[in-house]
Amino acid sequence: MGPGEQKIERADFGFSVREALLWALRKRQRFSIAGLSMEPLLSAGEDVLIRPYSAGERPHAGDVVVLKHPAKELHLIKIIHRISAEEIELRGFNAEHSTDSRDFGNVDEAKLLGRLTVILG
């Protein structure tokens, strides 16, 4: 898969055994969706798994990522809209309900915790 071609699985009862094992081994982190900013892809109440970026791996435009909020003690899930050499611009799919780079500016790559791999539901 190339840049901007992130594969996101929507898990059913028998979701990826590999993802479950990686979560159990703490190679994945689980987050719950709390708002409306990523609808229609993600809805409030759904859980997701993210995979931290590997050493040397770079994020790409189109990746759905979890990050530390630049000013508050909370996490956000957004899509990478654009990347420059220095900063990353993040957006929510549902602009009316999204707090993103249009509000807090672009972010440093170090704020990213990882990219979405599975929607648990």
Residue 3, domain member (yes or no)? no
- Residue 47 covered by a domain: yes
Q: With respect to residue 106, please indicate whether it lies within any of the assigned structural domains.
A: yes
Residue 42 lies in a domain: yes
Q: Is residue 27 part of a domain?
A: yes
Domain with 84, as residue range(s), is: 9-119
In a domain, 81, yes or no: yes
| The model scores a pTM over 0.85 | no
Give me the mean pLDDT over the 87-100 stretch: 96
Residue 100 tokens read as 């993103």
**Tell me, what CATH number does 36's domain have?**
2.10.109.10
Structural domain includes residue 74: yes
Round to whole Å and give the CA distance between 50 and 42. 14
Assess whether pLDDT exceeds 50 at residue 1.
no
For 39-77, the three-class secondary structure string (H helix, E strand, C coil) is: CCCCCCCCEEEEECCCCCCCCCCCCEEEEECCCCCCEEE
Q: Is residue 37 part of a domain?
A: yes
% of the chain with per-residue pLDDT over 70: 87
Identity of residue 90: L
Domains of the chain: total: 1
Q: What is the tens place of the pLDDT at every residue in 55-83?
A: 888 999 999 999 989 888 999 999 999 99
Looking at residue 13, its pLDDT comes to: 54
